[in-house]
Structure 1
Amino acid sequence: MAPSQVWLITGASRGLGFDMAKTALKAGHKVIACYRNRKPDDTSKWDELEALGGIWTNLDVSNEDAEAKVKALVAEHGGIDVLVNNAGYAILGSIEDVPLDKVHAIFNTNFIGTLRTIKGVLPSMRERKTGTIVNISSSNAISPAPALGIYAATKFAMEGYTETLQMEVAAFGIRVLLVEPGATATEFASETGTGIRVDPSEPYQEGIVRQTSDYLASPQYAASSSDSLAVVERIVEAIDGTGVMAGKEIGLRLPLGKDTGAGIEKRAALFADLANLKDVWGSF
């Protein structure tokens, strides 16, 4: 078992975040689990986490005060060893159909929200010369799908700065991990969960956008998805260097899930095609 650390997990009230908080607690860590809204009417998950020693705290990463709240948590708990940026949601709809106000809103959570929490923990991590920052991305940032273009854009953007962040903070002893889960059995694409569906306009009533949206809500998608607990076990093991990940050199990226390999191969083929254009990009 790895030494006990203080974890701060955003978006921990459901799905991947809740399962990760539970798994980290069972691994012996102290977990500060963040929820966005009020305490739920159904407190079963709330009580389950508290019974394991979890600490619930209100943190909405889309609010401008999120950075200050994280700094207050750092002071209250004597530092944050592991920050997991899990809070986020998806929008299903064509690029043409998604209203710009919804684009601004999802970027404020999925992209800017992660920057707020990172800015909250970095001063302390730099001073202590230790810490791990985990950004939960998506296999859609490896191989984007129709109907998920705006969601994929938030993850591509996050991956862009995360690569840079790794280079900038390595000298301070801070580790950065970019997790890219594939289809996972959570409420990701469900309107009862965190997904937002934009009604397709007439040109998109049929075709690949509608087909993808319908598939993401189908039993077939659920059946092909990886188990959420299995996914978070790999994440916790990668952070702790235990279990399946013991002795493995995990770099910046950690792709996970049954369907992720196909996306990696597709992206590799794309870059292989670019390499074949050397006579073009190398002609200057």
Structure 2
Amino acid sequence: MFSPATRVYLPVIQTTRDPMPRSLITGCSSGFGQAIAARFLDEGWEVIATMRRPATEGLPASDRLRILPLDVTQPQSIAAALHEAGPIDALVNNAGVGMLNVLEGAEIDKVRELFDVNVLGTMSMTRAVLPAMRQRRAGVIVNISSSVTLRPLPALSIYSASKAAVNAFTESFALEAAGFGVRARLVLPGSAPETSFGKNAVARMGMDTPEAYGPFVQAYVQSLRNVTAKTSALNVAQAVWRAVTDPDAPMMLPAGADAEAMFRDTARSAA
């Protein structure tokens, strides 16, 4: 519950199986995933940090941390990871792929790969943990979306579409799950160029951008570099922590100064 006097979020999840709540976080090889894992460890949780190729680099040492291999696009990998992890109190669907490119320059195979990870991977993980949460009538699922869904932006049409799908899915799924004591929430990070996610999104642009779009795309990329209000991995970890532990948290939580500004602007426009 949230205490205004102390400004501290306390876990609200209660289980009979174990006094120590357990979270499973996907995409923990770098960036947001590592920061989220560190935050939950700091708060006394058991953390299952998953990634396609398990590695300890960047993750804090703790006897409450387990690292498991997981590819969210492979059903067998999901089943094996959840069997090894045991009961989950909170699932954080953080694994994702970025893409900075215009539609005409994007190879359709890369588009399919992006949707497979960002959308179907999120759905598959959610579907896999839901039966146990529903039976216990307790659990939280947090899906990492993006602030790019708050307003149209160039060279992000494909990525924005994938995250908009995550938004729509989560909002509707939350209505399905609420009657069983399971909550679903969205965290919308802003631009995080210092993280490997941001760098990889640019790298995926590669040489695919048609020459005709070159000046347009380069001008936009430069505008991103000039923005002073950005998002840090710690901003995202804080938003995820609130989404999990505050039962009154709104459906969408922006993470980072730029995301919060976009969220306020969108709210004013809708008013």
Q: TM-score, normalised by structure 1?
A: 0.81
Alpha-carbon contact 2:54-2:67 (below 8 Å) kept: no
| 1:181 shift after superposition | 1.2
2:69 maps to amino acid: N
Seq. identity, %: 34
- In the alignment, which residue of structure 2 is the partner of 1:53? 64
Q: Secondary structure at the match of 1:7?
A: strand
The separation in 1 between residues aligned to 2:132 and 2:73, in whole angstroms, is: 22
* More contact order relative to length (CA 8 Å, sep ≥ 6): 2
- In the alignment, which residue of structure 2 is the partner of 1:277? none
| CA distance 1:266–1:251, change in 2 (3 Å) | closer
Q: Secondary structure at the match of 2:218?
A: helix
Alpha-carbon contact 2:141-2:244 (below 8 Å) kept: no
Alignment partner of 2:96 out of 71, 88, 92: 88
- Calculate the aligned-residue CA RMSD, in Å: 2.3
Alignment of 1:88-237 (within 5 A): 88-184=96-192, 185-191=194-200, 196-199=204-207, 200-207=209-216, 209-216=217-224, 218=225, 220-221=226-227, 223-237=228-242
The separation in 2 between residues aligned to 1:265 and 1:238, in whole angstroms, is: 18
Q: Secondary structure at the match of 1:103?
A: helix
- In the alignment, which residue of structure 2 is the partner of 1:23? 39
| 1:153 shift after superposition | 0.7
The separation in 2 between residues aligned to 1:263 and 1:234, in whole angstroms, is: 16
| 1:142 shift after superposition | 1.2
| 1:230 shift after superposition | 3.3
Whether 1:240 aligns to 2:240 is no
The separation in 1 between residues aligned to 2:264 and 2:38, in whole angstroms, is: 33
Alpha-carbon contact 1:67-1:119 (below 8 Å) kept: no
The separation in 2 between residues aligned to 1:254 and 1:239, in whole angstroms, is: 11
1:128 maps to amino acid: R
State the 4+ residue runs in structure 1 displaced beyond 6 angstroms. none
- In the alignment, which residue of structure 2 is the partner of 1:258? 257
The separation in 1 between residues aligned to 2:141 and 2:151, in whole angstroms, is: 23
2:230 maps to amino acid: S
The separation in 2 between residues aligned to 1:101 and 1:236, in whole angstroms, is: 35
- In the alignment, which residue of structure 1 is the partner of 2:25? 9
The separation in 1 between residues aligned to 2:197 and 2:189, in whole angstroms, is: 12
Bigger Rg over Cα: 1
The separation in 2 between residues aligned to 1:70 and 1:171, in whole angstroms, is: 27
| CA distance 1:237–1:100, change in 2 (3 Å) | same
Q: TM-score, normalised by structure 2?
A: 0.85
Count matched residues: 253
Alignment partner of 2:80 out of 43, 56, 69: 69
Q: Which runs of 5+ in 2 are unaligned?
A: 1-9, 14-19
The separation in 2 between residues aligned to 1:197 and 1:203, in whole angstroms, is: 15
Q: Secondary structure at the match of 1:254?
A: strand
| 1:264 shift after superposition | 2.7
1:14 maps to amino acid: S
Q: Secondary structure at the match of 2:91?
A: strand
Deviation string 1:242-281 (CA, Å, 9 cap, x unpaired) is: xxxxxx8312111121112442355346656xxxxxxxxx
| 1:70 shift after superposition | 4.5
